[in-house]
Chains A and B, each alone.
Chain A
Amino acid sequence: MSPTDLLDLVLLALLLTGAIGIAMLKDLAACAIVFSAYSFVMCLVWAHRGAPDVAMTEAAVGAGITTVLFLTVVSRVGRREK
């Protein structure tokens, strides 16, 4: 297995962990943070797979703006999932 494939495997494992974590977490603020980390790993996958345009959008929108939007909404509607 080449180092490139290994990096992909590690990134995909991180994505899977993040996705399962988001589904399991009951704390919505924590969900938003894990989602942000998930997006950042996704951004690395795009960059590594040769799609810099998508990676840039993923970093700004996924890891940045949606996190702020989620946290703002969570601060207004309450933190615990009912």
Chain B
Amino acid sequence: MNARRRTARILAFALLAALAGPLIHGVLQLPAPGSADAPAHANVTANYVERGAESGGAENLVTGVLLNFRALDTFGEVIVIFTAWLAAAAVAGAVSETGRRAIPVSPVVDYVIRALGPFIAAFALFVIVNGHVLPGGGFQGGVVLGAMLILLSLVLGPAPVAGAFSARHWAWLRATGVLVFAATAVIGLALTGHLFGLPAEPVLRKSLMIVLELGIGIGGGAVLAGLFFAVSGVQRS
């Protein structure tokens, strides 16, 4: 047993070394961080910075890249977090125990979280709908929303928060990001001729982006709260 363990350790070390070698070799060949003449900065970034605000449709360049230039990647990410919840719910559902109660917290913490809740929710909404001009957007607002739901279920106990919607409605809420994104992709195809295309007309484009951000935000927040419900055993699915 001991000899086998040692062999396993040596093997693991050899494997890691074999993996680390090429990785370090690759990293050493990367251009210096922040160097202006790296290919990515000289071509792609320069183009985004120069014309991104108008062609991406958002003053916040990050949002322009996320929702427009790299919309397919973002769509993938939205699907990934939804799938993460599906997997967590499937695994946790098998070992679920119900009736867990609120962890006793000090009255000060309890009061502060209850009092802050509405403000955190308002901030989340603000971050979501202002994603095209200010730092933030659907993802960021969504995680703030999810954090607020988790905080509330820590003080109130998960049951009242999880019970705010039926399990079916929670499932639909969690799918919002994926569904809204897919819908805008098709709308983009109809309006511009490209999947994920955003129309050039400013008002239409902005409203489409805000709907998209709201979908990602609500879906993301519901997924994160769902992950918490799944691991703490309150909600089967």
Contacts and interface: CB of A to CB of B under 8 A. Distances in A.
A45 to B, nearest CB: 12
A57 B227 contact: no
Contacts of A64: 143, 147, 150
B140 A73 contact: no
Range of interface residues on A (Cβ < 8 Å): 10 to 19
Contacts of A57: 139-140, 143
Range of interface residues on B (Cβ < 8 Å): 20 to 34
Interface in B132-175: 135-137, 139-140, 143-144, 146-147, 150, 154
A68 B135 contact: no
A43 to B, nearest CB: 12
Interface string B32-62: 0000000000000000000000000000101
Contacts of A65: 143, 146-147, 150, 224, 227-228
Nearest to B60: A53
A60 B231 contact: no
A16 to B, nearest CB: 16
B140 A56 contact: yes
B177 interface: no
B231 A56 contact: no
A60 B143 contact: yes
Interface of B: 60, 62-63, 127, 135-137, 139-140, 143-144, 146-147, 150, 154, 224, 227-228, 231-233
Closest 8 A/B residue pairs (Cβ): A52-B135, A60-B143, A56-B140, A53-B62, A64-B147, A53-B135, A72-B231, A72-B232
Given A53-B62, A65-B150, 8 more contacts: A52-B136, A56-B144, A57-B143, A64-B147, A64-B150, A68-B150, A68-B228, A76-B233
6 contacts: A52-B135, A53-B137, A60-B143, A60-B147, A61-B224, A65-B146
